[in-house]
Structure 1
Amino acid sequence: MAGASHYTLPLPEFDKPVNALIVVAPYYRDIADMMIKGARATLEAAGATHELIEVPGALEVPAAIGQAFRMSDFDAFVALGCVIRGETTHYDTVCNDSSRGLTLLSMQGACLGNGILTVENMEQAVVRADPEDQDKGGGAAAAALHLVALARRWGGVKSGIGFRPKDSQLAKGGDSV
């Protein structure tokens, strides 16, 4: 729909700094560089620090984020890359599987913004990657930041929920009966 307006949430504010990991598949270097620029600008506007790593392709992005989610101390993850339709079904596999991997990680609690472009041609990729146009790199960073804000809002220990033996032998470190 031509001329449709899009609403963008304002960036959240943080009391405690956010540390983000940007994972990029730079197969199309110019597109990747534009997306990195947008992601960095958004993270920095929110006062977040960040680290950048590169992986060979879009299928490796969820694997790298999964490793970092399990083994490091990042608050947020920004997935960047670009998949352009070609002549084979490889496009569908890469789009579906990278997206599925990222979605599964986010459902496990990773505060993740998916900025892997899935487009028909280079022209579409440029429009979406350009920080002065659609800025999908910045949008992915903003999504990750919003999820960090929610995680911090809801992440406190809840009392009175679930079963915890209070005065039993188990609670005192004794053997189970």
Structure 2
Amino acid sequence: MAGPSHYIMPLPEFEKPVKILIVASPYYKDISDNQIAGAKAEIEKTGAAWEIVEVPGALEIPTAIGIAERLSNFDGYVALGCVIRGETTHYDTVCNDSSRAIQLLGLQGVCIGNGILTVENRDQAVVRADPAQMNKGGGAAAAALHLIALARKWGESDKPVGFTQEILLAGNTGGKTSA
């Protein structure tokens, strides 16, 4: 019996260059390599540029993204890693804290596609990371690209930001203007 069908949005198109940082944890190197391959292929479909940085584990991914956001010039980020359930509650901590930190960065306007796999076993991870199967690395890259497109759409508004000269002048005259 086949699983449910999911709609996949077409990738956005960009007029100006896009630069994405892929932040990956190679804790499970073969899984990470597949996630990265899927992400790179998806990014390249739009003509965007990418760089990769590796960190030790899933908990370090949001920290690296936060540092890059403050100190670099990337348009967006792809978070890639894998957490496989073990015998202790450490799994829950890593899953919850890495996800929460990425979500908080996103709520601050950072464009992140979250591809950190949280799975019960290695077989689930292999299927999800494989670009020929579930391609969660590619899905995370697509999510980042869509968020970048939204940020650019809304960031190019011609609405004035802050106080305009007219408002300041009216405020200095008690709300009255003279001809």
Q: What is the TM-score of this pair, normalised by structure 1?
A: 0.91
1:112 aligns with 2:125: no
Aligned to 1:174: none
| Code of the aligned partner of 1:143 | A
Report the 3-state secondary structure (helix = DSSP H, G, I; strand = E; otherwise coil) of the residue aligned with 1:80: strand
- Kindly provide the CA deviation profile for residues 78-135 of structure 1, in whole angstroms up to 9, marking residues without a partner as x: 0000000000000000000000000000111111000000000000001100000010
CA drift at 1:73: 0.2
Q: Distance in 1 between matches of 2:146 and 2:159?
A: 25
Q: Secondary structure at the match of 2:95?
A: helix
In structure 2, the residue matched to 1:154 is 154
Distance 1:160 1:22 in 2: 34
Q: How does 1:24-103 map to 2 (within 5 A)?
A: 24-103=24-103
Give the Cα separation in 1 of the matches to 2:142 and 2:157.
26
Q: Which AA in structure 1 matches 2:142? A: A
C-alpha separation in 2, matches of 1:3 and 1:87: 29
Give the residue type in structure 1 aligned to 2:32: A
Q: Output the amino acid matched with 1:51.
A: E
Q: CA deviation at 1:161?
A: 5.7
Q: Secondary structure at the match of 2:81?
A: strand
| Aligned twin of 1:166 | 168
Shift of 1:17: 1.0
- Once residues 91 and 63 of structure 1 are traced to their aligned partners in structure 2, the CA distance between those partners, rounded to angstroms, is 18
Q: How does 1:123-142 map to 2 (within 5 A)?
A: 123-142=123-142
Rounded to whole Å, the distance in 2 between the matches of 1:111 and 1:19 is 11
For residues 110 and 25 of structure 2, the distance between their equivalents in structure 1, rounded to whole angstroms, comes to 19
Q: Which amino acid aligns with 1:154?
A: W
1-side partners of 2:160 and 2:139: how far apart?
A: 38
Number of aligned positions between the proteins: 170
Query: For residue 145 of structure 2, what is the amino acid of its counterpart?
Result: L
More deviation, 159-168/54-63? 159-168
Q: State TM-score, norm by structure 2.
A: 0.90
Query: Which residue of structure 2 lines up, in the alignment, with residue 10 of structure 1?
Result: 10
Shift of 1:25: 0.5
Q: Which runs of 5+ in 2 are unaligned?
A: 173-179
Q: If you compute each CA radius of gyration, which structure gives the higher value, 1 or 2? A: 2
Letter in 2 for 1:122: R
Shift of 1:3: 2.3
Q: Which amino acid is the alignment partner of residue 29 of structure 1?
A: K
Partner secondary structure for residue 168 of structure 2: coil
- Alignment identity in percent? 66
